[in-house]
Chains A and B, each alone.
Chain A
Amino acid sequence: MFEFIEYLTRGALVGVTYGLLAFPVSLLFSTTGSVDVALGAYAVLAAAVLYVIGGPLGVIVAIGVAVFASILVGLISLRLNRPGHIDHIIAVLGTFGLATFIESFILTVFGTNPMIRQPFSTFWDIGGIRVSPQMGINVVVCLAILSALFIVLQKTPFGRAMRASAVNPVGAALNGIPVKQIWFATYVLGGFLAGVAGVLILYTTGADYSTAFNLTIWGFGAAIIFGMHGPLRGFAGGLVIGIVQALSAGYLPGGWATAIPFIFIFVILSLGRMNQIAATGGRV
């Protein structure tokens, strides 16, 4: 029983960062109807940059690089996916191109070595479970960012414009909301969050060049579990994904331990959470 609780705690703590990745997925999906497959790649890019530079400057540069990459994706997607000329699959394919590019870039520049930093040598003891203080930092950072986003989305004019363009892009445009700019801002916000997630991941579980697509999948899975309607659901979804990972790593033999979380997301997908847009015949 103790073991079970330990896995649960560890999983939830790791899942916090997935919650951070889930937010841009759901935000982007509800605003533009598209998915940015390169999210995980921004995170790994940020982790790689911070691994090399280090220190507070490294954190800023790392997040900056992630934001820069997402600006590129935003520009590309705007060109591919103009309002009135919408093909989500092409936009997804474009983000795929960039994800491949970034992955190969990381591989060329930073090599295949796993990148991880352990800033703390002393551990907290919570009810017998050894927890790195870094986990505490992760939880605080994630909660702070998510609450800030929640306030921005719910209380500011910008947030209202964002929600309006998500619900009804045509109506929003008619009311003078710059929908295209909002879309672009959504992509960049996604890059920022992925950059922060990458920084936290470097100090927690580490990353290497091949983690990019997996991180996208975790963020995506976290976003769809409870539906794509708000940041808090994505956060809860992230905890669930983290727990599923920790439990299968704890109780299942090697191969299954890595495969089960993916199969879990597959099951969630086939339960049809994402097909709710189907009611409109695939149109936004």
Chain B
Amino acid sequence: MRSNTLSRFIPALIVVITIALITPVIAASPFWLDNSVLVAIFSLLALSVGMAYGQAGILSIAPAAFGAIGAYATAIVTARYGMSPLLGLVLALLLPTLLAYPMARAITRLSPLPLSIATILLSIVLEMAIREGGDFTGGYIGISGIPTLWFADSLFSMHILSWALVAGVIILYANLTVSATGRAVKTAKHDPLRATADGINVPALLAVYFALSSSVAGLAGWLYAHHLTYMGPDSLTMHVSIRIVLMAVIGGASTMLGPVLGAAFLTLITLYLPAAETQGMIFGAVLILVLLVAPNGALGTNWAKLFSKGRGRTAAKTANGKNVTGGAT
């Protein structure tokens, strides 16, 4: 694998260039700027799934729950107590981590399967807690009047800020992935026994990685709250989580850009979908279809290999051989 410093910046660079190209086109349209910010927020959430599921193999059904913690943290601090959104940002990054680490530590002793069940539990309990939170969380009514960010108070500056955060997270994430920690996580995902033999404390490592991924979701929640200026119990639910998981899987959960691509694709396609209650059917069916056809997602699949498979074994073999040599150089 090439790991020179420059290649780590390529995914973030692609994002920056794409946004630079798109911005002049949509700068005049509030509708598209608004959607662009939403795509950026969901990209962050999907990146958090990519980190947990794509890299560490922990399927989390709670990215929206961690996002909701971040969003409520900043909403309560800014709208209730009139404090700085920067304090909200610190809380949004910190609280999900503080919740995710002990949770993962208690459960992922080795198997990620129980942890994904635990994330469902977390989603359900958190939704309940928000509804029952009374004045503190706004209960069923939610919290409205969350102030916009004073350093990004227009839609355009919000668009720039949110994509800058996406690019920043991708740079850090790419760095983490090629670091010793990132490699250890990959080994732990594919073969925990081997990783343990190599001297890695697998449960601790996976818990740290899970906690990091949850703080990315918290960051997204912070943006979400300040963008929409409203946060309610129906804002970031388990159904949103499932959609986020779908985004990551469609784009390619183990890649840097896959979650961003998936988020853009699904957010834009949702604009043209029918009523909310039938969306679940479409998302569910698409999820199954993607898993059946290309479980590694659009960017994680070797499409040449996939198509050459149909033409016969020899074609698949050569494609495979090419891939191996290509990967070694």
Contacts and interface: CB of A to CB of B under 8 A. Distances in A.
A84 interface: no
B284 A101 contact: yes
A229 to B, nearest CB: 16
A281 B284 contact: no
Interface string A256-274: 0011001101100110101
B277 to A, nearest CB: 4
B280 A101 contact: yes
Interface stretch (B37-45, B166-174, B286-294): B286-294
B140 interface: no
Most buried by B among A90, A101, A255: A101
> Chain A interface mostly helix, strand, loop or mixed?
helix
Nearest to A104: B280
A217 B122 CA distance: 12
Contact of B292 (A80, A92, A274): A80
B288 A90 contact: no
Interface in B88-139: 106-107, 109-114, 116-118, 120-122, 124-125, 128-129, 131-132
Contacts of B122: 266
B209 to A, nearest CB: 15
B270 to A, nearest CB: 14
Given A94-B291, A97-B285, A281-B193, A103 B280 contact: yes
Nearest to A95: B288
B295 interface: yes
A274 B113 contact: yes
B221 interface: no
Contacts of A23: none
B238 A213 contact: yes
Interface in B236-263: 238-239, 242, 245-246, 249
Contacts of B110: 275, 277-278, 281-282
Nearest to B106: A270
Contacts of A87: 295
B119 to A, nearest CB: 10
Contacts of A88: 113
**Chain B at the A interface: SS class:** helix
Interface residues of A, number: 48
B278 interface: yes
Contact of A92 (B109, B116, B131, B285): B116
Contacts of B193: 281-283
B59 interface: yes
A137 interface: no
A96 B117 contact: no
Interface in A90-112: 90, 92-94, 96-105, 107-108
Nearest to A34: B113
Interface in A220-239: 220
Contacts of B284: 97-102, 104
B283 interface: yes
Contact of A89 (B57, B281, B283): B57
Contacts of A266: 118, 121-122, 125
A106 B109 CA distance: 37
A254 interface: yes
Contacts of B118: 266, 269-270
Nearest to A99: B284
A156 interface: no
A162 to B, nearest CB: 21
B311 to A, nearest CB: 21
A258 B128 contact: yes
Contacts of B285: 97, 101
Contacts of B242: 96, 100
B50 to A, nearest CB: 14
A223 to B, nearest CB: 11
A213 B280 CA distance: 14
B65 to A, nearest CB: 13
Contacts of A282: 110-112, 192-193
Contact of B59 (A92, A108, A214): A92
A35 interface: yes
Contacts of B302: none
A76 interface: yes
Given A94-B291, A104-B277, A275-B114, A270 B128 contact: no
A130 interface: no
A94 B288 contact: yes
A35 B117 contact: yes
A90 B59 CA distance: 9
A92 B278 CA distance: 22
Interface in B268-314: 277-281, 283-288, 291-292, 295
Nearest to A213: B120
Interface of B: 53, 57, 59, 61, 106-107, 109-114, 116-118, 120-122, 124-125, 128-129, 131-132, 191-193, 196, 238-239, 242, 245-246, 249, 277-281, 283-288, 291-292, 295
Q: Which 3 pairs between the two chains have the least Cβ-Cβ distance?
A: A104-B280, A101-B284, A255-B132
24 contacts: A37-B120, A76-B288, A80-B291, A88-B113, A90-B295, A93-B59, A93-B249, A96-B242, A96-B245, A97-B283, A100-B242, A100-B280, A100-B283, A104-B280, A104-B281, A105-B280, A107-B277, A108-B281, A214-B124, A255-B129, A269-B114, A269-B117, A270-B107, A278-B109
